Amino acid sequence: MKISKNTIDYFDGLNENIQPILPANGNCVRINHGIISGKKVTSTYIHLNTINVRVGQQIKQGHIIGTVGSTGKYPNGQPSSTGPHLHLSVYENGQHVNPYKYIKP
């Protein structure tokens, strides 16, 4: 898979003392991978413990963007994560897709 760019174009979270757009996401990073096979590809990583990147930063494969955590709360105050896990989502043109083709060895 050839990736034309990897840019941090979004993040929110508790570490930045800003109001998260979706509090259930907790600390969240989105990577803009550019156009792959004619589709705009982004990926998100939520419930992070720490965020190690900045908006606009260019990253390469292997870059540590954050650490796994269990952050995030629903509006009723209940935690949205019951334990640390990597919550990965991949989008093509804004639609959820199965991420397997991007992560398979």
Give the binding site for Zn ion (CB under 5 A). 87
Q: Which is nearer to Zn ion, 30 or 87 (CB)?
A: 87
Cβ neighbors of 41 (< 8 A, separation 6 or more) are 32, 33, 34, 35, 90, 91, 92, 102
Q: How far is the CB of 6 from Zn ion (least distance, A)?
A: 22
Q: Which is nearer to Zn ion, 57 or 70 (CB)?
A: 70
Strands 50-51 and 66-67: antiparallel
Q: How far is the CB of 87 from Zn ion (least distance, A)?
A: 3
Which residue shows structure tokens 């989502």?
89
Cβ neighbors of 105 (< 8 A, separation 6 or more) are none
Q: How far is the CB of 46 from Zn ion (least distance, A)?
A: 6
Q: Which is nearer to Zn ion, 37 or 76 (CB)?
A: 76
* Paired residues of 27 in beta bridges: 48
Q: Which is nearer to Zn ion, 35 or 86 (CB)?
A: 86
User: Where does the chain have alpha helices with state H?
Assistant: 100-103
Q: How far is the CB of 55 from Zn ion (least distance, A)?
A: 23
Question: Minimal CB distance to Zn ion: which residue?
Answer: 87
